[in-house]
Structure 1
Amino acid sequence: MCGIALIISGTCIDLSSLLLDSVPSASSTSIDDQLVFSIDDLKAALGRRGPDSLGSKKVFLYSKTSSSIEEREIVSFTGGEEAKERDESCSQRVEEKNDCCFDTHGQTREVENGFSMSNVVAELHFIGATLQLRGINPIVQPLMDTYGNIFVYNGEIFGGINIDSDSNDTEILMQALGNCCSCNSHLHTRTSYCLEKGKSSVPEVLSTIKGPWAVIYWQESSRTLWFGRDAFGRRSLLVHWPTLEDHRFLLSSLSPFSSTEESSGFEAENEINNHNFWEELTCGIYSISFDAPKLDGCLVGKVRKHEWTNSMLKELIVWERTSVEPKPEDLYSSHGKTLMEQHDVHSACSNILPSKSGPIQASISGMAETVLFALRESVMRRTSLHRIFKAVTCDIRQEVLTPVAVLFSGGLDSMILSALLDECLDPSYEIDLLNVSFDGQSAPDRISAKAGVMELRRIAPLRRWKLVEIDADLSTLDLETKHVMSLINPANTYMDLNIGIALWLAARGSGWVYEGNNNNFDKDLQCNERVKYKSKARIVLVGSGADEQCAGYGRHKTKYRKGSWLGLHEEMKLDMQRIWKRNLGRDDRCIADNGKEARFPFLDEDVIRTLLDIPLWEIANLDQPSGIGDKKILREVARLLGLYEAAVLPKRAIQFGSRIARESNRKNFGSNRAANQASAGSAVIQLPSNLT
């Protein structure tokens, strides 16, 4: 993974089937026009992520000259970035001699039917940045096969398509797509139907993937562009639909700084935001099929959205639970079990907490064990050792591996992920726990993180845990704030910015660690030396999805009180169906900017399915106090793991636990009180004068 992008110039894009709020009039722009964002802007933004490789390829579409529209057809040829000088030379010779161009493999050939560069109607420019975590051989995106198909991919395959331990999932997926039908019969219906016997369609292949993904795929035989993102939006993919201001069609993993912003700074960026240049691409699979050019020379590409073909995936998207409203006896049984569990917790906490080798027996439901099994498998899939992990020198004494880090607050979700990571990762590996604070050692998340490390060291004393303390001062982060503004785009509220800054700093991993006796961390910090440290982990586990699926937000309790169980279910369903737009795209962009890959174990397809199969009153009981009834099922999972202290911690969002929200309120509104009166969390960002 790392990032992908595409710019299409010189076409008319027909958006009528998408029912967008506003559709520009049909018109095209020259392939030479460079408006708000250029190819170089996109490459620079993706290159900042520190990929192992960065490449690009172009597809040129041109029409064979004919006075009859029936006799016109589209022809394409392809060239890579490495052939840029040859492209320019070829263009000059075509103008002079009208005798050459490139075929689909980048080689020169004779012109057919009087072709010249002036026949070029459209250009598709593909960009791929690769942070390689799988396979034994390096790859450079975009990939192109012998048939002229082009593929850029940002994702991970954790199931659905078989990937050998030494294989690269990008290459395997391209092979599967290359075997898909090209009859285009499915382009004219919402469901997939293939006339080529024994072949799958592109939507069928993409629907089978378990894991996060965003793809852009050029199918040469059908002159069709495919693109999309997974059903939960775990990988960012932004889209710019053609407008009167910029007629080009753009896809990108992130919103880059425009070259036009160099002189005017935030003013230009705000101008882009005000005009809604980018939007989060709605989860799904899309195609653009290019018909023969019209007599006026305009090449029309018709956009269609396709249905998922995997029935289980469709069920997860609908997110309906079979058991929502309990009977009185269900609540009685559940309440009795909760009282027993509370008694066991108090008994356990009154003594030294048990290690994994001898846990105190507690009455834990079989449903929690099922969830624990699903979560353990999810973490295992996301941390398997056949990924490429590069050794890094963490100190001067020895070379150790730290392949995976956890976005760590010491709260319930990050503690569960850390304990499961310990079970899944080789004992010789260190684990970095990334904790960000805007109030030094006094931030709630810093306090809970230190307590959490102590508990992790009790249940896993052989593991070398590294709490990476990332201290930040919002008043000194003006340049960083401007950069994160670009990353969160199209999100534009203070809450988005606060979360984005905290995630970006945490993923960067530059902070402090205590070097000394691993087991004396909790007793005498003065015996340990606090030294600078930068995490080299390329994978970061994030707890996103836990609160949405297990009723962890305060609004869930409000809905429950107003609308009972059904109201709670509908609110949780709404959260899951909009998480791609409100959270995941933003979070993915902020974390990936540091050359890290965010992975979300709670949003694994099997975990979602497992949680939906459990009655809602076993997931949460919001009649109980905070720290007991909210996320009830996960608290039971924590107890199964021996995390008795973490099992009773209340929910605390990162913007509050790190205290960035408090500092942001003071900086932008003068005080917390003024910020609350202005509903600062949902307020659109107003740029401070020192940043314009």
Structure 2
Amino acid sequence: MCGIALIISGVKIDLSSSLPDSSSSAPDVEVEHSLLSIDDLKAALLRRGPDGLGSQKVFLHFRSSCSVEKEESLSLLNGEEGNKREKSYNGFSVTKSVAELHFIGATLQLRGITPIFQPLVDTYGNILVYNGEIFGGIHVGSDSNDAETLIHALGRCCSCDSHGHTRACFCIEKTHTSVPELLSTIKGPWSLIYWQDSSKTMWFGRDAFGRRSLLVHWPTLEDSRLLLSSVSPPSSVENNSDRMSNLTFWEELSCGIYSISINASKANGCLVGEFRKHDWTNTVLKELIKWERTFVEPKSEHVKPHSDIPDSLMNNVIQSNSSLTYRGLLPSVSLPAHKVLIALRESVMRRTILNTIFQTATCEIRQQEHVPVAVLFSGGLDSMILAALLNECLDSSYQVDLLNVSFDSQSAPDRISAKAGVKELQRIAPSRRWKLVEIDADLSNLTLESKHVMSLINPAKTYMDLNIGIALWMAAGGDGWVEEGICDNNEENNRRCKYKSEAKILLVGSGADEQCAGYGRHRTKYRLGSWLGLHEEMKLDMHRIWKRNLGRDDRCISDNGKEARFPFLDEDVIRTLLEIPLWEVADLDQPVGRGDKKILRDVARLLGLEAAAVLSKRAIQFGSRIARESNRKNFGSNRAANQASAGSVEIYMPTSLT
């Protein structure tokens, strides 16, 4: 998928009961001069290079009988504006409408054999725009598309249960599931907007970990509309001199499921939206969200060396979908590491199975030209594990692009480790065609690009967010150089050739540090608060990862027409890691490069990645050296930036980012 958006205008939405921080509901009078237009949202989504962009309008009318009618204007586009088809009901015209719902859906289709066009509309008048993947919970056939499967499932949901049985249920079959129950079963990243026509209810939300971006503008006196969007248009930060005011226009929608039930108010003569946030209903998912671990503090009986691995686990390891042959267990690797390896391999497999849409090309073209999956690659522990697992899960005929960004040419730490990492990958998988894509950038020449990325990271607005956003955006673009061998007098030389990765799926290592104690502050918390302090800090990281990291990262990567996938944040991987005692996940009494992310270092050894298993953690802004260049540009020196705590400083430059 690619991106979604919605504008609701003309509905008075009361947010006070469900959003404590909201001081007001929508104004009674519609504000004429809005900061954003529908064209702004369309342009932002078109930048992502979708296969199609569509829009759908629904007009709601107030009648004395309190019924709601609609008039539709449907436009399904393939890159440019198409012809509109209009249909009216009971003689109502657009000019008599009280409220307008405007849906936008951009589609980057990676699954299914039949092209789809969003918004999807079923025979009951329900409308869906969806940005996500379904990796479990709802069956999606190998030839099917996620969104099409989902709208059919949603169409079977009960329309009487939307607001906690506040109305009598008229469903013939009492076994109908509710919308929250259905959405709670989905495994995988998603954000969606769904109009349930029979109940006149707007559903929207994002998955429990926030792996897909969804921004919201709650109604204000300045702009009385409710807006949802996968991304903030550039006009959000460019069209007004008061840029800080514009930067507060959007906020990250908290993870969860929301609904607005629209009713006619006889007393006020207007349409009123009853807003509600719904609880997740899946018991397993609710436990994952809590992120509580059974074994946090080791007792004396817990720290004994592990006994031999049970035969049942060995069978699981050997019979799992792996191309590796394990020659016995490594004596220094624990039983939990094998469990994590199995979960991670299955996670990568789910995210890299090539559906029928990829098989339309001939075998020759697929082998020579098509690169379906790339890895955001620093050569560090997490990206090396992902690359090694991708090698196991992807047909050997496909090339794998390893995308590496540097703001210091060949001298950046991540460039050095990436080159070493490729050599290690070639050693364990010599038949795979690995292509290191070296993406070189100069921050001083990226003024316009920086302005654009500023709109992508919005509502985040610190220098650290901008540095990370630029690095991710440049890396995901895949526009760089590769070294290709040529033969000259029987001697192999290398030449650097221009290359742009066309892979649409990008594996990203997000979530590994949060779950496996990879940050320096984790070591500090352990030193000050022992195991319990470490656990609480890691839980805090997982509870806020949607707001601090994932929304921003998803927007920056998707802007290049790529789809970010996060194997470490697979539901089964999260559950597996939580079932493992904390002291098996990390041992922060050991030095850096050994005790931090201990369990992933063991996984790396099982994969044959001995060098990667001892690498220290480096954040992308430091490994690529964009933080150093940004500090020099904006603060004069690294020392001055450190004194100002530059990473947390908010950007405030009314006219430019230079």
TM-score for the superposition, normalised by structure 2: 0.92
How many residues were matched structurally? 636
Structure 2 CA distance for aligned equivalents of residues 476 and 396 of structure 1: 37
CA distance in 2, matches of 1:185, 1:255: 29
Q: Does 1:38 align with 2:37?
A: yes
Counterpart in the other structure of 1:583? 549
Q: C-alpha displacement at 1:241, in angstroms?
A: 0.4
Name which of 211, 229, 253 aligns with 2:230. Answer: 253
Name the CA shift for 1:237/1:407 in 2 (closer, same or farther; >3 Å).
same
Equivalent residue number for residue 12 of structure 2: 12
Decide whether the 8 Å contact of 1:204 with 1:309 is kept in 2.
yes
Distance in structure 2 (CA, Å) of the matches to 1:260 and 1:439 = 29
Please provide the CA RMSD for this pair. 2.8
Choose which of 207, 225, 235 in structure 1 pairs with 2:184. Answer: 207
- Work out the CA distance in 1 between the residues paired with 2:359 and 2:45: 21
Please give the secondary structure, in 2, of the residue aligned with 1:175.
helix
The partner residue of 1:315 within 279, 284, 287 is: 287
Query: C-alpha distance in 2, partners of 1:19/1:428?
Result: 52
CA distance in structure 2 between the aligned counterparts of 1:242 and 1:484, rounded to whole angstroms: 26
Name which of 177, 196, 204 aligns with 2:154.
Answer: 177
Q: Which amino acid aligns with 1:46?
A: L
Amino acid of the residue matched to residue 34 of structure 2?
Answer: L
Shift of 1:198: 1.4
**Alignment partners' CA distance in 1, 2:187 and 2:565:** 13
Aligned partner of 1:559 in structure 2 is 525
Tell me: CA distance 1:56–1:34, structure 2 relative to 1, closer, same or farther (3 Å): farther
Match of 1:218 in 2: 195
1:373 pairs with one of 342, 365, 368: 342
Q: What is residue 330 of structure 2 aligned with on the other side?
A: 362
Deviation at 1:686, TM superposition (A): 3.2
Query: Which of 66, 70, 87 pairs up with 1:107?
Result: 87
- Report the counterpart of residue 60 of structure 1 in structure 2: 59
* Counterpart check, 1:608 vs 2:574: yes
Structure 1 pair 358–333 and aligned structure 2 pair: CA distance change class (3 A)? closer
Identify the residue that residue 460 of structure 1 maps to in structure 2: 429
| Aligned-residue offset at 1:261 | 3.4
| Unmatched 5+ stretches in structure 1 | 88-104, 338-354
* 1:194/1:201 contact within 8 Å kept: no
Q: Would the aligned equivalents of 2:16 and 2:22 in 1 still touch at CA under 8 Å?
A: no
CA contact (8 A) 1:510 1:534 kept: yes
- Secondary structure at the counterpart of residue 635 of structure 1: helix
Alignment of structure 1 residues 437-516 onto 2, 5 Å:
437-516=406-485
CA distance in 1, matches of 2:483, 2:361: 18
Distance 1:217 1:397, change over 3 A: closer
Q: Using the aligned pairs only, state the percent identity.
A: 71
Preserved CA contact (<8 Å) 1:227 1:286: yes
Closer, same or farther: CA 62–18 of 1 in aligned 2, 3 Å: same
| Letter in structure 2 aligned against 1:77 | E
Distance change >3 Å, CA 26–CA 309, structure 1 → 2: same
Cα offset for 1:389? 3.1
After superposition, the C-alpha distances for 1:547-588 in whole angstroms (9 at most, x for unaligned) are: 000000000000000000000000000000100000000000
Say which is worse superposed, 355-364 or 253-262, in terms of deviation.
355-364
Alpha-carbon distance in structure 1 between the residues aligned to 2:641 and 2:373: 37
Amino acid at match of 1:235: R
C-alpha distance in structure 1 between counterparts of 2:170 and 2:539, whole Å:
31
Partner of 1:241: 218
Shift of 1:117: 4.0
How far apart are the structure 1 equivalents of 2:475 and 2:263? 47
Q: Summarize the Cα distance change of 1:39–1:255 in structure 2 as closer, same or farther, 3 Å threshold.
A: same
Is the contact made by 1:38 and 1:258 (CA closer than 8 Å) also made in structure 2?
no
Does residue 74 (structure 1) correspond to residue 51 (structure 2)? The answer is no
Deviations 1:107-166 (A, max 9, x none): 34552xxx4544311000000000000000000000001110000000000000011100
Task: Give the aligned residue type for 2:508.
Answer: V
2:311 counterpart residue number: none
Q: Is the 8 A contact 1:29 1:248 kept in 2?
A: no
Q: CA deviation at 1:529?
A: 1.1
Contact kept in structure 1, 2:72 and 2:88, CA below 8 Å: no
In structure 1, give the amino acid aligned to 2:44: A
Q: How does 1:202-351 map to 2 (within 5 A)?
A: 202-258=179-235, 261=238, 267=241, 269-273=243-247, 276-333=248-305
Once the two structures are superposed, residues 590-646 of structure 1 have per-residue CA deviations (whole angstroms, 9 ceiling, x without a partner) of 000000000000000000000000000000000000111000000000000000000
d(CA) in 2 for partners of 1:177, 1:396: 38
AA at the equivalent of 2:6: L
Q: Specify the SS of the correspondent of 1:81.
A: strand
Q: Distance in 1 between matches of 2:643 and 2:99?
A: 52
Q: Mean Cα displacement is larger for which, 632-641 or 176-185?
A: 176-185
| 1:211-251 residue CA offsets vs partner (Å, 9 max, x unmatched) | 00001000000000000000000000000000111110000
Of stretches 177-186 and 507-516 in structure 1, the one that deviates more from structure 2 is 177-186
Distance 1:358 1:119 in 2: 71
Query: Is residue 119 of structure 2 the alignment partner of residue 142 of structure 1?
Result: yes
1:292 positional shift: 1.4
**Conserved 8 A contact 2:163-2:276:** no
Output the CA distance in 2 between the equivalents of 1:590 and 1:285: 24
Q: Distance in 2 between matches of 1:416 and 1:284?
A: 30
Name the SS of the counterpart of 1:638 in structure 2.
Answer: helix
Report what 1:651 is aligned to. Answer: 617
Q: Which residue of 1 aligns with 2:102?
A: 125
Could you tell me how far 1:187 is from its partner in structure 2? 3.8
2: CA distance, partners of 1:209 / 1:124: 26
Partner of 1:346: none
- Aligned residue runs from structure 1 range 532-551, under 5 A: 532-551=498-517
Deviation, 1:385, is 1.6
Per the TM alignment, residue 193 of structure 1 is displaced from its structure 2 partner at its CA by 13
Which SS does the other structure have where 2:577 is aligned? Answer: helix
Distance 2:82 2:93 in 1: 18
Amino acid at match of 1:319: W
* 1:401 shift after superposition: 1.8
Deviation at 1:271, TM superposition (A): 3.4
Q: Tell me, what secondary structure is at the counterpart of 1:12? A: strand
Q: 1:604 to 1:14 in 2, by over 3 A?
A: same
In structure 2, do the counterparts of structure 1 residues 356 and 270 end up closer, same or farther at CA, with 3 Å as the change threshold?
A: same
* d(CA) in 2 for partners of 1:612, 1:107: 53
3-state SS of the aligned residue for 1:197? coil
| Cα distance in 1 for residues equivalent to 2:82 and 2:408 | 53
Q: How far is the alpha carbon of 1:11 from its aligned partner?
A: 1.2
Taking the aligned partners of 2:382 and 2:237, their CA distance within structure 1 comes to 42
Residue matched to 2:602: 636
Q: Distance in 1 between matches of 2:115 and 2:415?
A: 39
Contact 1:392/1:399 (CA < 8 Å) preserved in 2? Answer: no
* Residue 63 of structure 1: how far off its partner (Å): 1.4
Partner residue, 2:138: 161
Amino acid at match of 2:521: R
Q: What secondary structure does 1:74 align onto?
A: coil
Contact 1:183 1:196 survives alignment (8 Å):
no
User: In structure 2, do the counterparts of structure 1 residues 289 and 662 end up closer, same or farther at CA, with 3 Å as the change threshold?
Assistant: same
CA distance in 1, matches of 2:485, 2:83: 59
Aligned-partner Cα distance in 2 for 1:499–1:243: 31
